[in-house]
Homo-oligomer: A and B are copies of this chain.
């Protein structure tokens, strides 16, 4: 966290006033400038103070998006794409004011090609809505960042989550995008073929660009067959190091776990209280295996052997859907469980990611730092990727507390970078991680600016995010 990056950028008052008038004319009730709409569109699940847009336009199709982009471009007014507002690093803040482009009404599944295991959706479709839609096809979309995020937002932030260890992140699961670019035209980054070497990888350039290069108007996604069999379970370890070592060996052995999630003792305590469970309050792994009955049984057995080697106890594996759902519901509610540890405090959810061999070191050193700093910060992690999260509980009205947390965050990032890791495995940069980018990327940051200048020369798409121009 570094609130110093949450500063107001320059505002083009005249352009904004003009565009507000023109959008009212064109969109009528679908354009709103009321305070509550504006507040809602700068609201994110975050510690970052809100910066309101000047108006919110509810787009319904690509023509709408093109019209908005053309108007804003003509008058040099910033545009901020909005999905459901579940981003964590201030991605939807309007640092220089401007227009929030709310894509939630672009919520149609445009096409499902079951034979090709792909589908094309509008950006406002949420991942839960997509999976509900797909229910009868035998297919599912695996990426699960926890929140019921919009797929446009997930593409824009390169989201991942619990299933990424097996199915990859959004970068691995987006086949193509249509995007409205700075001149208001819609382009298509690629076709539906599974691979292509026809020029630059524009698809992956837009995935993770956080709305700074254009507005996504459709997303073509890979789908997976629903596994014939799903197994799952939990096991506990004496310490975080043993749990991480078991994870490391599991990955190194090539066991294709679908999910392998670490909760530290404090997080287990929080989940017990919040979700009415009675798990031993020790470092715990939640697991899931996907495959045929045989392969799930095989993977479970292979994992159990590894876990035993590292002193696991309380191993409990089940293919009972109800029992499994209870576990994963608790995992998904980990954020709220953590918040409930200290309801009077603010919550700052952050993540780092390191090469898997350094995972145990990084988590242990971070736990020691938490203890020394004297903060409350349960840890959960998609540890199969070397990725873990902290929910730091603090009082954002208390300057001393804020400073303490900022210093802790800086040390956390430094630690991850020293281990050849990254300041964010999946939350993105937004405003919250901007100050770490120079240390992480050095001269590569200037290349990102060159790309930005090339595609958005007037800096109108979500300005003041990822880096300063």
Residues of A within 8 A of B (CB): 113, 115-118, 157-160, 164, 169, 171-172, 181, 185-202, 204-205, 207-209, 224-225, 248, 251-254, 292, 294-295, 298, 353-357, 385-387, 416-417, 420-429, 433, 436-437, 440-448, 450-455, 466-467
- A197's partner among B253, B427, B448 (CB-CB below 8 A) is B427
B193 A354 Cβ-Cβ under 8 A: yes
Q: How far is the CA of A423 from the CA of B198 in the complex (A)?
A: 7
Instruction: Contacts A205-B451, A454-B453 given; indicate if A196 touches B425 (C-beta within 8 A).
Output: yes
Closest 4 CB pairs of A and B: A454-B454, A115-B357, A196-B422, A450-B454
A422 B116 Cβ-Cβ under 8 A: no
Instruction: Contacts A295-B298, A353-B196, A453-B454 given; indicate if A188 touches B442 (C-beta within 8 A).
Output: yes
Instruction: Contacts A116-B355, A187-B444 given; indicate if A195 touches B451 (C-beta within 8 A).
Output: no
B116 A356 Cβ-Cβ under 8 A: yes
Q: How far is the CA of A189 from the CA of B420 in the complex (A)?
A: 12
B208 A199 Cβ-Cβ under 8 A: yes
A444 B202 Cβ-Cβ under 8 A: yes
A205 B195 Cβ-Cβ under 8 A: no
A197 B116 Cβ-Cβ under 8 A: no
**Which residues of chain B are within 8 angstroms of A424 by Cβ–Cβ distance?**
196-198
Q: How far is the CA of A171 from the CA of B204 in the complex (A)?
A: 10
Q: How far is the CA of A428 from the CA of B199 in the complex (A)?
A: 7
A455 B450 Cβ-Cβ under 8 A: yes
B117 A445 Cβ-Cβ under 8 A: no
- The quantity of this chain's copies bound in the complex is 2
* A281 → B minimal CB distance (Å): 29
**Which residues of chain B are within 8 angstroms of A116 by Cβ–Cβ distance?**
355-357
**Which residues of chain B are within 8 angstroms of A429 by Cβ–Cβ distance?**
197-199
Could you say which of A116, A251, A253, A295 has the most chain B C-beta atoms within 10 Å of its C-beta? A116
Q: How far is the CA of A446 from the CA of B189 in the complex (A)?
A: 11
Q: How far is the CA of A397 from the CA of B385 in the complex (A)?
A: 55
Nearest to A384 among chain B residues (CB) is: B194
B192 A355 Cβ-Cβ under 8 A: yes
Q: How far is the CA of A446 from the CA of B445 in the complex (A)?
A: 23
Q: How far is the CA of A200 from the CA of B171 in the complex (A)?
A: 11
| Supplied contacts A116-B357, A198-B422, 16 more A-B pairs, CB within 8 Å | A172-B172, A187-B441, A187-B446, A188-B444, A192-B421, A193-B354, A193-B425, A199-B467, A200-B209, A200-B451, A201-B205, A204-B205, A205-B205, A225-B252, A295-B298, A451-B454
Q: How far is the CA of A444 from the CA of B433 in the complex (A)?
A: 30
Q: How far is the CA of A184 from the CA of B357 in the complex (A)?
A: 33
**Which residues of chain B are within 8 angstroms of A207 by Cβ–Cβ distance?**
201
Instruction: Contacts A115-B357, A171-B204, A191-B422 given; indicate if A199 touches B448 (C-beta within 8 A).
Output: yes
* A313 → B minimal CB distance (Å): 25
A417 B115 Cβ-Cβ under 8 A: no
Nearest to A89 among chain B residues (CB) is: B197
Give 26 A-B contacts (CB < 8 Å), ordered by A residue.
Answer: A116-B355, A117-B251, A159-B197, A171-B201, A181-B443, A187-B441, A188-B442, A192-B421, A193-B355, A193-B416, A193-B420, A193-B421, A194-B353, A194-B355, A194-B386, A195-B425, A196-B425, A197-B426, A197-B429, A198-B423, A198-B428, A198-B441, A199-B208, A200-B466, A225-B254, A450-B455
Q: How far is the CA of A197 from the CA of B437 in the complex (A)?
A: 11
Q: How far is the CA of A202 from the CA of B417 in the complex (A)?
A: 18
A113 B164 Cβ-Cβ under 8 A: no
* A247 → B minimal CB distance (Å): 12
Instruction: Contacts A422-B198, A425-B196, A429-B198 given; indicate if A355 touches B254 (C-beta within 8 A).
Output: no
**Which residues of chain B are within 8 angstroms of A298 by Cβ–Cβ distance?**
292, 294-295
Instruction: Contacts A192-B421, A295-B298 given; indicate if A448 touches B355 (C-beta within 8 A).
Output: no
- A455's partner among B113, B181, B196, B447 (CB-CB below 8 A) is B447
* A155 → B minimal CB distance (Å): 11
Nearest to A436 among chain B residues (CB) is: B198
Nearest to A302 among chain B residues (CB) is: B292
**Which residues of chain B are within 8 angstroms of A294 by Cβ–Cβ distance?**
294, 298
Q: How far is the CA of A363 from the CA of B140 in the complex (A)?
A: 29
